[in-house]
Amino acid sequence: MTEYFTVTRTLRAPRELVFEAITKPEHFAVWFGTAAVEVPQDSLTMDVRPGGEFRAVMILPDGNRIDWSGEYKVVEPPSHIAMSLTDQPGDDVGLPVLFDLEESADGTVLTIRQDRSDFTDEQVAATIAGYNEFIDDIERVLERLQSA
């Protein structure tokens, strides 16, 4: 049985706008990299449909790079995305990552779940911290989109 770890946050924006921030390359490149990491726009492939491909490159502050790939399994705008994600393209099909967006009185509840797989507790904690940084940057993207 798959064991997931979860990150949940309420974002003060309509669900459609949150979905756009997650799925449009020009916004994705901002939050997926966070403030410390560059995700070159030309490295992104985001064919957001079932069976569509995902690819991105992260350039770390020390100059190292991480190549990411995955496949969109389920896309139900604006409420759900299920995809695989790996930083070992070609060697690994990736772990399931799920994005759920629920409307709430305060905006949108974003829940991200990822298969724990064989991660150590330290790796889970680091991944959760990374997702929280992503969501911090998604909030900044949403603020910019709503003030435009």
CB atoms within 10 A of CB 36: 9
The overall pTM is greater than 0.85: yes
AA letter at 138: I
Within the chain, residue ranges assigned H as helices are: 15-23, 25-33, 121-147
Percentage of the residues of the chain whose pLDDT score is greater than 70: 99
- Residue 34 confidence (pLDDT) above 80: no
> Domain extents for the chain?
4-147
Please give the Cα distance from 112 to 148 (Å, whole number): 27
Q: Please give the pLDDT value at position 90.
A: 81
**DSSP-based helix, strand, coil % in the chain, nearest 5:** 30, 40, 30
Taking the domain 4-147, which CATH number applies? Answer: 3.30.530.20
Q: Please give the pLDDT value at position 33.
A: 78
Q: Please give the pLDDT value at position 132.
A: 95
Closest to 21 (Cα-Cα) out of 84, 98, 110, 94: 110
pLDDT for 84-108, tens place per residue?
A: 999 988 877 889 999 999 999 999 9
